[in-house]
A and B are shown apart, each in its own frame.
Chain A
Amino acid sequence: MANTDHKRFKDDINLLKSGRSFYLTLIICLVVFFGATGLLITAFNRLITRHDEQLSAEISTIMAEKMNSSIKFMTESVNSTAVLLSSRNFDNPEQIYDILKNNTNADYLSAGFIDQSGKKYASDEEAKEFAKWDLMQTAALANPVSISAPYRSSVYGQPVITLFAVLRYADTRHGYMFTTYKLNELQKIAVTESLDNDVEIWLMNAESSNIIQCAGSDEHSIGSWANAYLSMQDINADDIPVYSDWLTRIRHLEDNIGISYSVGDTMYSQHCSRIESMPGWYVVVRIPGNALSATMHTFRNYVLYFLAVLLTVVIVLIANMYRLSKRDNEILEALSTHDPLTGVLNRRAFDIAAAKWIARGKDCALIFFDLDYFKQVNDKYGHNIGDGFLTKFSDVLKKNFSENGIISRFGGDEFVVLTDMSGTDEVSALIKKTADDLWSFSLPEADKEGREFSISFSSGAARFPYDADDLSLLKKRADTALYEVKERGRNGYLWYMDLSGPQERQ
């Protein structure tokens, strides 16, 4: 019974309510929250990307300049040796070769000399390399120093570069001193403690777009050849035009050009710098953007995890608070809208609910019920007995009318019912059944004292929209019919439409 009452309370309250539910509000809040979080993530990611681009571009520029400076230092070192040997003005090239060959402190793999006639003072194997790789062409470019393109040394089996420096001897003659270094000597130059796992450094030939790696995270990749036009195929399609333009600018021998592009999900910053002593060659430095922002990404993820946990806690709290608040509101609403004794709607709530009910436009009937001689019952048997009657009467009304209607205690012993109606006969039958039910019930308190009761009710009914098309008038018409029943001696019911004359119908 309690559940039934609770459901009816809720139904009544829902009838009185209008507007959004808590859940709709919650969904809106969630949408706003996730929208805001999405914007936050997007803004954060953009910030990281911009930070990566700017910082990695600056670092790659610095790295390229560092490499270039180091290569310059290497060439100046070779040139200094050549100048020093030139100052000794040797008569015989063999003397120069002996000094170079026996220099145990040098960090080069091998060294030798080419005299003015082109004769090579070197090992047989090294001399073969000159022919194979056309190294004399590079030597001729020395002014005062030149560097060969990387090639694989037969002697060492590894990619090497050979540096040439002009060396004067025998007063007026000049030749070229040469020194050969492993390509990975350049890696030693390029290494940085903080970024050595991320920075990749290549030498790149502007004309052919050939690249050879000389530093990178995997030492075994050093010395690998590739061609930039083939490598370009790995780049995301959107960035290929920019990359292609970058290659074209290098072919036109522009200097210090930077570029950003993505391969899959990884953004790279790349910068090139021309190598002065290696005509047509550039040092290219590439840094993945995320190398710089791994900490930022971790921080961002922590923020997101925190937000997610916070959101979950807040939602659980809100849901719990809502549940408690809802229960309290239901109690308060029930108290403010329902008659505390009988549990039916009070007059104010009925007026609101009834207005909505008839606004649907369906045929319905409004019935006023008035317990006959209720005041005497109260006076004679006390208010407890009277209240028991009222409760039982309301129960009877609920039983007969609550399925298709709303019930209210209008005041004292007066009740009103607004019910859907397919015909007056159907409603009349329910009124009669209510009368029968009222006669048949027994009041336990009364029975205990051996008293007998006979109580009846009078009722008057009016139809919507036939007797009245607004609530106020409808109530008035039903009340008129009730009044007439009372005038006729009570214990009966009457439809407003059945009143005999215009005077009765006032």
Chain B
Amino acid sequence: MKKYCFILLTICLTLLFSGCSAPSGGASESAASPISHFEPLGTVSENNKNIYVILKVMDSSYWQVIMEGCKAAGEDLSCNVYCGGTNNETDWQGQRVLIEEALAAKPDAILLSPDDSVELSSDIDRIHELGIPVALIDTAANTESFDICYMTDNLYAGQNAAKEMLGRLRDAGYSDYDDISVGIMVGTAKSQTINERLAGFYQYWSNNAPGKWSIISDIMNCNGNIDEGDALLNDFLAKHPEVVGLYATNNGPTRVLARVVKGAGRKDITVVGFDLSDEIDDLVKDPDYRASTILQRQYDMGYLAVGSVLDIMQGITPPVRFIDTGVVTVNEENMSSPEVREVIDMN
């Protein structure tokens, strides 16, 4: 009996103490995956400057286009370009490892597409303090310690998407007096790029859409999972049959929108998304559907960033630090034009 009493006492004391513990916060999550270490792009010459490029997703076609831009610049401007990167666009810790590797190699400049705009800001500060020119490509960081940034202004790109959506809805015959609504799907809530495209879309919409045209506040988030996105969108469409437009902030959700809309034969829904996947390409080309996609000029980001850091090494200060490489809106009407065709081919 005595033994049981003390066991009971121990349990009670344990419960008492466990009730005192305070909740603890955690750092932002990083999805660790194998990183791709630096490899030279093209031939290497001892007399050339060495530029290290750190990208987000090495096996993605989008990032390979950036790589091609860097490679071409290296050949055109006679510098050695080494490229490494992560294979998951949230693996900022993997990029931190690559930054250390690059610094150990005594680079003349570093080009970085940060997997996390906040977490890697301190690393960018450190590179800058070492006097090494830093160019950001595709994604900005929340620091001023970079020399130049080539990227799409995602707030502005989001505004363009909203402008396209409004235009296509008017093309579909909707007037200011029609009660219509659109839905939004994002790939993740944690990406600054996605948040800016979302904010830009909302901003343009709230300033320019007719009062009766609304955005459904229940924003879908597929969390990077395409299959989850399918189910989410099907549920959303069942719940909101009045939806006449769908906007996706990045590649994954755009694929979801394109395949679900096409699969369900919803020709009444206008789709606006980002990047050029097979699914959205197929939908844009189909004259029975109204679809548009926003393409970035990622080749230019890589090419121009290499040129800029070479200039900086020679003491030439760029007139601006942030260069919006711009976007091209692709739809059925303009996709055959040479200018758009060129961007499509680059993607």
A→B interface (CB under 8 Å): 21, 23, 26-27, 30, 34, 37, 41, 125, 132-133, 149, 151-158, 205, 207-210, 212, 218-227, 229-231, 233-234, 244, 247, 264-266, 290, 297, 300-301, 304-305, 307-308, 311-312, 315, 319
Complex contact B189–A234 (CB within 8 A): yes
Residue in contact with A220 in the complex, picked from B141, B206, B207, CB distance below 8 Å: B141
Question: Which of B17-25, B64-72, B270-278 has 4 or more CB atoms under 8 Å from chain A?
Answer: B17-25
Interface residues of B in 189-236 (CB under 8 A from A): 189, 192, 195-196, 198-199, 202-203, 205-207, 217-219, 221
Besides A23-B5, A219-B142, A266-B25, 10 other A-B contacts (C-beta < 8 A): A27-B8, A41-B19, A132-B156, A153-B322, A210-B203, A220-B118, A220-B142, A224-B118, A224-B195, A315-B9
Closest B residue, CB atoms, query A222? B142
Q: B residues within 8 A CB of A315? A: 9
- B99 beta carbon closer than 8 Å to chain A: no
Complex contact B155–A226 (CB within 8 A): no
Q: Contacts A157-B146, A308-B16 hold; do A220 and B121 have CB atoms under 8 A apart?
A: yes
- B143 beta carbon closer than 8 Å to chain A: yes
Q: Contacts A210-B202, A226-B199 hold; do A305 and B20 have CB atoms under 8 A apart?
A: yes
CA distance A220 to B122 in the complex (A): 8
CA distance A222 to B118 in the complex (A): 9
Q: B residues within 8 A CB of A231? A: 189
The 9 closest A-B pairs by CB, nearest first: A157-B322, A208-B202, A265-B23, A207-B206, A220-B142, A157-B321, A208-B206, A220-B121, A225-B199
Q: Contacts A151-B155, A230-B189 hold; do A307 and B195 have CB atoms under 8 A apart?
A: no
Interface residues of B in 269-295 (CB under 8 A from A): none
CA distance A265 to B26 in the complex (A): 12
Number of B residues with CB within 8 Å of any CB on chain A: 53
Q: B residues within 8 A CB of A229? A: 217-219
CA distance A133 to B207 in the complex (A): 12
Complex contact A152–B140 (CB within 8 A): yes
CA distance A330 to B255 in the complex (A): 85
- B315 beta carbon closer than 8 Å to chain A: no
Complex contact A227–B219 (CB within 8 A): yes
Chain B proximity of A214: nearest CB distance (Å): 12
Residue in contact with A297 in the complex, picked from B22, B122, B155, B217, CB distance below 8 Å: B22
Q: A residues within 8 A CB of B9? A: 30, 311-312, 315
Chain B proximity of A245: nearest CB distance (Å): 12
Complex contact B322–A233 (CB within 8 A): no
Complex contact A26–B5 (CB within 8 A): yes
Q: A residues within 8 A CB of B19? A: 41, 304
Complex contact A152–B322 (CB within 8 A): yes
- B12 beta carbon closer than 8 Å to chain A: yes
Task: Give B1-39 as 1s and 0s: 1 = Cβ < 8 Å from A's Cβ atoms.
Answer: 110110011001101110110110100000000000000
Chain B proximity of A181: nearest CB distance (Å): 14
Complex contact B122–A230 (CB within 8 A): no
Q: A residues within 8 A CB of B189? A: 230-231, 233-234
Closest A residue, CB atoms, query B204? A208
Q: A residues within 8 A CB of B156? A: 132-133
- B115 beta carbon closer than 8 Å to chain A: no
CA distance A206 to B216 in the complex (A): 15
Closest A residue, CB atoms, query B1? A23
Chain A proximity of B327: nearest CB distance (Å): 12
Q: Contacts A30-B8, A233-B221 hold; do A225 and B118 have CB atoms under 8 A apart?
A: no
CA distance A227 to B162 in the complex (A): 15
Q: B residues within 8 A CB of A209? A: 202, 217
CA distance A132 to B13 in the complex (A): 65
